[in-house]
Amino acid sequence: MKVLVVRHGKTDFNVGGKRLGKEDADLNEEGKNEALEIKKELKGNYNILICSPMKRTRQTADIIFPGRDLIINDLIVPYDFGELQGVPFDTPYSKFPNNRVEKHGGKEYLMPNKGESFEEFVTRCKKFIKYLKKNFNEDDKIAVFTHSTFIAVLIALSRSKPWYTYLDKTRGLKGSIEIEI
């Protein structure tokens, strides 16, 4: 089944290069304009709209599909950065000596204490794929409104690649991508 995956528009956290995660931030003006651009570029009608419960994804969906019902799904919430919430991505790892660092695909990632492990996150992504396959048909036109890390893992899994393949390629992603589930 083909699924359109849409990243929420920009927030002030994104502009600052901070780990946003479970922070429930509103879209800023640039983010609202990004959603309007996606709306202009979309072709076709989508009969099923699935959305993360976060404000930024709901606002994006409402701009693109005003007045439409959204299926809110907790499986597609953002990665939980735990105590690293709000910390800029470019902060040196040495400032967090109590956190472990994991290496995936030749790149190092600072892992949050009291947050989500990559293993837990990938399991959640796989559960969402199963949810789609169980509850929807090939004929359904599905749009999913979610977050960059979730999109990265979803793309990798849909292409039978290692889950970490696209992690750094979707940060700051603007727009949407269609994938085959």
Is residue 20 domain-resident? yes
Strands 142-146 and 2-7: parallel
Of 9-18, 86-95, 121-130, give the lowest mean pLDDT range: 9-18
For the chain, what is the mean pLDDT?
93
Residues in the chain, total: 181
Is residue 65 domain-resident? yes
Is residue 137 domain-resident? yes
Of 29-38, 50-59, 96-105, 168-177, give the lowest mean pLDDT range: 168-177
Q: Does position 170 have pLDDT exceeding 80, yes or no?
A: no
Is residue 113 domain-resident? no
Is residue 96 domain-resident? no
Is residue 93 domain-resident? no
Is residue 126 domain-resident? yes
Q: 130: domain range?
A: 2-81+118-180
Q: How many domains does the chain have?
A: 1
CATH of the domain at 155: 3.40.50.1240
Span 129-158, average pLDDT: 96
DSSP string covering 17-54, please? TB--TT--PPP-HHHHHHHHHHHHH--S--SEEEE-SS
Is residue 159 domain-resident? yes
Span 16-35, average pLDDT: 91
Q: For the segment 111-122, what is each residue's pLDDT rounded down to a tens digit?
A: 999 899 999 999
